[in-house]
């Protein structure tokens, strides 16, 4: 199987790349290295350096891929406040470009990362049907990307899957410019 992992130089993406390669997949990474680092990428993966919001870069990376894991995003809240246009382009435009590119390339499945959609939930552990929190106190820059995947009518017959990742830590955390060191998360 050939798989594309966007954001494969980042924390979540690089762990997905390692897991796919351990299962025998051929893996392509599409990453602009804006917060991730090339050294995070498994040496057996092919790297395409490019922007997920660029349809040409997506088309090049997704060619021949059966499945796509979309993890490229700017997830730091402060960065999204300081650079809203750049954040929106990567998170919303990027997600749409990946969905369109994957559909055109004939990929059978796209799995996107959601943001931390539950905010400061009152119930722990938080059930998946808990109310969604879109605003303060925890605005999430990648929330619109998950809704893009879920709501766009163009994809209604080809439903992307969306994984709600919650306060994740582990190997590789702290190796990108947007993730805190794991010692802070323990």
Decide: is 147 part of the binding site for ligand NAD (CB under 6 A): no
Output the CA–CA distances (angstroms, integers) from residue 43 to 2, 27, 46, 162, in the order listed.
16, 10, 8, 27
Cis peptide before 32 (omega within 30 of 0): no
Stretch that binds ligand NAD, among 5-13, 101-109, 121-129, 154-162 (CB under 6 A): 5-13
Using an 8 Å Cβ cutoff, are 109 and 67 in contact?
yes
Q: How far apart are CA 153 and CA 64, in angstroms?
A: 25
Q: How far is the CB of 144 from ligand NAD (least distance, A)?
A: 11
Using an 8 Å Cβ cutoff, are 36 and 20 in contact?
no
- For ligand NAD, which is the closer residue by CB, 24 or 140? 140
- Binding residues for ligand NAD restricted to 58-77, rule: CB under 6 A: 71-75
- For ligand NAD, which is the closer residue by CB, 81 or 168? 168
Stretch that binds ligand NAD, among 103-111, 130-138, 148-156, 164-172 (CB under 6 A): 164-172
Closest CA to 14 of 170, 184, 180: 170
- Rg, C-alpha atoms of the chain: 16
Stretch that binds ligand NAD, among 49-57, 100-108, 122-130, 151-159 (CB under 6 A): 49-57
- For ligand NAD, which is the closer residue by CB, 129 or 157? 129
Stretch that binds ligand NAD, among 100-108, 120-128, 153-161, 163-171 (CB under 6 A): 163-171
Q: How far apart are CA 82 and CA 60, in angstroms?
A: 31
Q: How far is the CB of 183 from ligand NAD (least distance, A)?
A: 15
Output the CA–CA distances (angstroms, integers) from residue 32 to 8, 25, 35, 45, in the order listed.
10, 22, 8, 15
Residues that bind ligand NAD in the complex, under the rule CB under 6 A: 7, 9-13, 31-36, 51-53, 71-75, 90, 94, 113, 115-116, 142, 165, 167-168, 176, 178-179
């Amino acid at each position: 199987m050939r798989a594309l992992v966007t954001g494969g130089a980042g924390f979540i993406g690089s762990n997905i790349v390692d897991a796919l390669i351990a299962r025998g997949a051929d893996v392509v990474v599409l990453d602009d290295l804006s917060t991730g680092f090339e050294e995070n990428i498994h040496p057996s993966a092919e790297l395409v350096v490019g922007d997920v919001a660029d349809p040409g870069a997506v088309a090049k990376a997704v060619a021949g891929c059966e499945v796509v894991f979309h993890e490229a995003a700017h997830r730091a809240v402060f960065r999204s406040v300081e650079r809203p246009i750049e954040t929106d382009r990567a998170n919303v435009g990027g997600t749409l470009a990946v969905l369109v590119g994957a559909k055109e390339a004939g990929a059978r499945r796209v799995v996107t990362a959601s943001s931390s959609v539950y905010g400061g939930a009152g119930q722990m552990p938080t059930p998946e049907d808990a109310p969604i929190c879109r605003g303060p106190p925890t605005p999430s820059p990648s929330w619109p990307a998950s809704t893009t995947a879920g709501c766009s009518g163009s994809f209604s017959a080809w439903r992307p899957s969306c994984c709600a990742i919650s306060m994740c830590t582990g190997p590789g955390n702290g190796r990108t410019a947007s993730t805190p060191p794991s010692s802070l998360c323990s």
